[in-house]
Amino acid sequence: MKYTEEHEWLLKEGETVTVGITEHAASELGDLVFIELPEQGMKVEKNQEIVVIESVKAASDIMAPLDGEIIEVNAAIVENPTLVNEDPTGEAWFFKMKLDKPDEYDELLDESEYKALIG
């Protein structure tokens, strides 16, 4: 698993990368009440705003962690946003994408680097 400084986690399986938010991000946001995911088939660029989430505390945007194409979205979290609070690094993934440049995955933070970031 890799991480971004924006508190996303990524898990690479073959040519597919699954993306979600970290436990740290989920706890900082509080109880989620709304999630809007990108369209399947959408081409995205790194740092492009592609997900909108709203919690009881605030509204936030989630950025595309890398360049690629959205190949699947998790409809379960749209129907029940609290799943993200319950299992942020498991069943509550946001989307899956095929990367344009798979080597960029290796440049993301590893677990120890992410833990140092959140201190």
| Confidence band, pLDDT 50/70/90 cuts, at residue 15 | confident
Find the CATH number of the domain harbouring 75: 2.40.50.100
Return the closest-CA partner of residue 38 out of 15, 59, 69.
Answer: 69
Mean pLDDT computed over 14-38: 95
Instruction: Please count the structural domains in the chain.
Output: 1
The reported pLDDT for the residue numbered 105 is 96
Please check whether residue 19 lies inside any domain of the structure. yes
**Higher pLDDT among residues 88 and 58, named by residue:** 88
Contact status, residue 3 vs residue 113, Cβ threshold 8 Å: yes
Half-sphere exposure of 86 (CA within 13 A, CB side): 9
Please check whether residue 45 lies inside any domain of the structure. yes
Please check whether residue 113 lies inside any domain of the structure. no
Q: What percent of the chain is predicted at pLDDT more than 70?
A: 100
Please check whether residue 107 lies inside any domain of the structure. no
Report how far apart, in Å, the C-alpha atoms of 46 and of each of 40, 43, 97, 99, 115 are: 17, 10, 12, 10, 22
Q: State in Å, rounded, how far the first CA of the chain is from the last one.
A: 18
| Confidence band, pLDDT 50/70/90 cuts, at residue 45 | very high
Please check whether residue 117 lies inside any domain of the structure. no
Please check whether residue 116 lies inside any domain of the structure. no
Quick: pLDDT tens for 65-99. Answer: 999 999 999 999 999 999 999 999 999 999 999 99
Q: Which residue range is the domain that position 65 belongs to?
A: 2-101
